[in-house]
Structure 1
């Protein structure tokens, strides 16, 4: 097993109906008429995102009402903690960010972006912000508790995903990226560690620390080495294309159990990525090989998701045959795998961590830097 790190600077019910389509049409692909109707729906979601982006969130809960239960994970800037609301008994996941660490890592702008994006984003396969708070030393992002744990954990335990499960997860990621890009959001850190499995077996993409609203191109080097796109490594300036490349790496890793580009040193990993050289396992069928080849395409003009048909290149690819996209969007397709979840508050799908106290300073630290939070 290897380890990898990222480097860099309320559950809404969505129901979408595509209109009158026969089951055969849905299973065999996605028609232009379906996509036109879905684009209208995406425009509505984008408008709602923009409205929430411009309107400060109003909370009707006090921080003192939240009771700490257990640590769910740790990261470079803080940790994620399971909380219980003492009045409603509802469970939440709280991301705790230490101001001093955010300052030292020069991540203030990224953290502010993450807060505003989490407040505005609403899609079945992304997490969103329920509440946020700050005190003298910390910032707190409070989101719904997703009890199934990280995709990374399940992938390592299974070795690799069976094709129906990989296809089920991949279809949700395609829809999530299509939505984010439609809202002008570039995600920039897609990987199994940032994908949670909900109690219903469906996905929730989390950790928007590198996500930003994109107008044109950007040049920031950020993300996880094995998942970085060639154009990002080469500092050419990039757009939404980097997310589709990362999706190709994720697609490969879900089906193989390991990423296509890996070396003991990041620089050697980057060399492999820029060269675009990898080998598919013998277990990959012809349709999967073809899809991977079209996503892990160094030439951006030929990469799926970036060309004129956009996400339609995925929805109509042979490997996705059998996927009913409307059923996936509405979480009505039976999941091939549902994580074990014994009771509310069960953290069995998460690693165990030592508990550490959260002790705010007696005075407000870095007040001016975090004024907008």
Structure 2
């Protein structure tokens, strides 16, 4: 998906809905097993032959005991949640934060917290999502979802309650989206990969 980001600069809201929904399904599967992924970013999202997303590189993934936290400092700087940077202990809520960052990047071409200097990036993250200038081309509904996912307090992030990530399905930005079709894999993907077979 990273190559798509480079080649197309940014995606339409309709295409982004599809890709974010795929990621929500993948994270929901992991979170139901109490596995925190911890490295969500375009580089770790591959498209299969039907154009559906697959998460790759589970090197930072970790299964937690119920209610437990972990303190490993890991992840990609632009996608790190504040509690990771501050070493406060973290859980699956870090994936919700990263999902908001991914949504922003797919729609704009750049993550909301970015600097050539890693330490400065951390400082920008700690200022919070409300300090970020959202581009006018991003719809208010998309901005709303990003802000709900990137709350400073992990317990306040969208989809962290009893319903889990299923809460995200009901957000107004996903209004009219065919979740059933996505799960049955009958919903047409925005782009389909061309697979070239080589005969040796």
Matches of 1:203 and 1:301, distance apart in 2: 27
State yes or no: 1:171 paired with 2:21.
yes
Q: Which of 95, 98, 109 lines up with 1:243 in the alignment?
A: 95
Matches of 1:169 and 1:200, distance apart in 2: 12
Shift of 1:278: 1.2
Matches of 2:163 and 2:152, distance apart in 1: 18
State yes or no: 1:334 paired with 2:174.
no
Pairing of 1:274-285 with structure 2 (within 5 A):
274-276=126-128, 277-285=131-139
Shift of 1:222: 0.4
Higher strand share: 1
Matches of 1:186 and 1:153, distance apart in 2: 25
In structure 2, do the counterparts of structure 1 residues 166 and 345 end up closer, same or farther at CA, with 3 Å as the change threshold? Answer: farther
Aligned twin of 1:96: none
Q: Which of 196, 206, 215 lines up with 2:56 in the alignment?
A: 206
Matches of 1:178 and 1:211, distance apart in 2: 14
Aligned twin of 2:44: 194
Unaligned runs of 5+ in 2: none
Q: Is the CA contact 2:50–2:192 (under 8 Å) kept in the aligned structure 1?
A: yes
Aligned twin of 1:94: none
Give me the TM-score of the superposition, normalised by structure 2: 0.94
Aligned twin of 1:300: 154
Matches of 2:57 and 2:190, distance apart in 1: 25
Q: Deviations over 1:277-309 (max 9, x none)?
A: 312111011111111110111122221121233
Matches of 1:255 and 1:316, distance apart in 2: 20
In our comparison, the structure showing a higher alpha carbon Rg is 1
Q: Deviations over 1:34-60 (max 9, x none)?
A: xxxxxxxxxxxxxxxxxxxxxxxxxxx
SS at 1:293's partner residue?
A: helix
Shift of 1:339: 2.3
Matches of 2:105 and 2:175, distance apart in 1: 20
Q: Which of 172, 176, 197 lines up with 1:344 in the alignment?
A: 197
Aligned twin of 1:273: 125
Matches of 1:310 and 1:274, distance apart in 2: 25
Pairing of 1:59-74 with structure 2 (within 5 A):
none
CA RMSD of superposed structures (Å): 1.3
Unaligned runs of 5+ in 1: 1-150, 347-373
In structure 2, do the counterparts of structure 1 residues 337 and 222 end up closer, same or farther at CA, with 3 Å as the change threshold? Answer: same
Q: Deviations over 1:39-96 (max 9, x none)?
A: xxxxxxxxxxxxxxxxxxxxxxxxxxxxxxxxxxxxxxxxxxxxxxxxxxxxxxxxxx
Matches of 2:97 and 2:184, distance apart in 1: 26
Pairing of 1:319-330 with structure 2 (within 5 A):
319-330=173-184
Matches of 2:50 and 2:197, distance apart in 1: 13
Number of equivalenced pairs: 195
Aligned twin of 1:65: none
Matches of 2:8 and 2:136, distance apart in 1: 18
Pairing of 1:113-128 with structure 2 (within 5 A):
none
Pairing of 1:123-202 with structure 2 (within 5 A):
151-202=1-52
